[in-house]
Amino acid sequence: MNRKQFLKNSSFLLGALSILPYRNLDTNTFTIDNDFVSKRPSEKNRTFISEEVEQIILEVKSVVKDKELAWMFENCYPNTLDTTVDYEVIDGKPDTFIITGDIDAMWLRDSTAQVWPYIPLIKKDKKLKNLVLGLVNRQVKCVLTDPYANSFYKDLTKESDWIMDSPSPIPGVHERKWEIDSLCYVIRLSHKYYELTNDTSVFDEKWDETMRLIVKTFKTEQRKDGTSPYYFARNTTKMTDAPVFNGTGRPIKPTGMICSMFRPSDDATLYPYLTPSNIFAIISLQQLAEVYENVLKDSEFAEECKNFAIEIENGVKKHAIAEHQGFGEIYAYEVDGFGNKVFMDDANVPSLMSLAYLGAHKPTDKIYRNTRAFLLSDANPYYLKGKYGEGQASPHTGKEKIWPMGITLRAMTSIDKKEILACLKMLKDTHADTGFMHEAFHKDNPKDFNRTWFAWANTLFGELILKIKHENLDILSTRFD
């Protein structure tokens, strides 16, 4: 399928309908519920099909008593596979390009997160295994094209829609916003793929070249001499679209941490040391050390990665933790090394809320508990309360819109069943009768929302339901009528 046809089909996907049965737990019979008709595209119009995913959908729907919640899961969980995948074999190797949804480009971050809920199935489903391997291969191509870019086109000769940015993106790059987490997600994906498959073929020469380039880029962006080759300028009226001082960002004092000019929301950072992204980098470097030591038998590079992770961790402990307004010691969202700190969070991943989701902390760790208490309080300027719900917001969508992703992550990092139930109810109450998650919704009017087709938010919701099924099955017996 060529790119034009792929996008044409994808545009049609959201309007295409198919109907799946709903299991009545009280009578143990399957019926069609006309109130909750599947919003998935018909099978012939889906961009990728996994029998294992289809089986999961049926299994989950059979245990979710709330029909609307089951319908939302059916729509959301397979959304990445249904609508965003362009898979083929190139030069004898799987190649997977995954658009973010309503934007014709692939983000390194989003693409990893979009397939994450399916990865546990790759040991059973060879097609899914090749899809994930193909995404690793495609991400390698992307990073080698430009390690500072966050999003790419499948056609690596295509000129960017943001050609007027300075510097202008090279062909194949959609946008060149430097975000630490983009490269962390590349490591996260390949590490998880190997962990589940033991397939060492993924660690080929191009992969090795890519990992070394990632580490080199991270080290450059420590800016120990105060300089960097990176800058980003854009002619825009949106203040968060580019760093200040001609795209170079605010001054920093070297700390051992890595500078990130942008947040995972694609908004410019206020202070360049973005705490959750640096903690994510610690995890990623530890994962690289594990691979190079145990698989590739390169103890020298493994040791380099270990020491780098320790250096960043020391910087975080020294500069990114502080007492705050009765919450005890918590993480600041951003710091500059001079002692200046920003206390907030941005509803994305990595975020401070997501640190337990990423595995950096257990939900019971004291500093995470303290930080989480702050994030869910009025002391956090981006925690909003409205008529239809409450949750984390983002400067990316203004001062009045809550992110479903933030509510989802709150539930995923909670060990309190009442809190999880409350989050599920809010997600159910705010999808605006669409059956899908959105980027953000107005706190007082869920029908005022951003992005009708945001695949990551959809599959993350699916991941939440699966987590609840595995850990708190009784919650799914709740009806929210």
pLDDT of residue 28: 45
Note the Cα 359 to chain centre separation in Å: 14
Q: pTM, whole model, 2 decimals? A: 0.93
Structure-token pair, residue 52: 């294992």
Structure-token pair, residue 192: 């998880």
Determine how many CB atoms are found less than 10 A away from the CB of residue 163. Answer: 9
pLDDT of residue 34: 55
**Whose CA is closest to 84, among 114, 113, 127?**
114
3-state SS string for 367-388: HHHHHHHHHCCCCCCCEEECCC
- Alpha-carbon torsion 467, 385, 320, 183, what sign? positive
Structure-token pair, residue 80: 């990445």
Q: At what angle are helices 67-76 and 51-63 packed, to 10 degrees?
A: 170
How do strand 29-31 and strand 401-402 relate by DSSP bridges?
A: unpaired
> By three-state DSSP, how is residue 131 classified?
helix
**Whose CA is closest to 384, among 367, 398, 368?**
398
DSSP labels for 25-39?
Answer: TTTTEEE--GGG---
Pair 384, 393: CB distance under 8 Å: yes
List per-residue pLDDT tens for the chain, 481 residues long: 444 454 445 444 444 434 444 444 444 444 445 579 999 999 999 999 999 999 999 999 999 999 999 999 999 999 999 999 999 999 999 999 999 999 999 999 999 999 999 999 999 999 999 999 999 999 999 999 999 999 999 999 999 999 999 999 999 999 999 999 999 999 999 999 999 999 999 999 999 999 999 999 999 999 999 999 999 999 999 989 999 999 999 999 999 999 999 999 999 999 999 999 999 999 999 999 999 999 999 999 999 999 999 999 999 999 999 999 899 999 999 999 999 999 999 999 999 999 999 999 999 999 999 999 999 999 999 999 999 999 999 999 999 999 999 999 999 999 999 999 999 999 999 999 999 999 999 999 999 999 999 999 999 999 999 999 999 999 999 988 7
pLDDT of residue 29: 45
pLDDT of residue 288: 98
DSSP labels for 261-326?
Answer: SB-TTSPBPSSSEEHHHHHHHHHHHHHHHHHHHHTS--HHHHHHHHHHHHHHHHHHHHHSEEE-TT
Structure-token pair, residue 60: 């989950």
Angle in degrees, CA 209, 213, 216, rounded to 5: 140
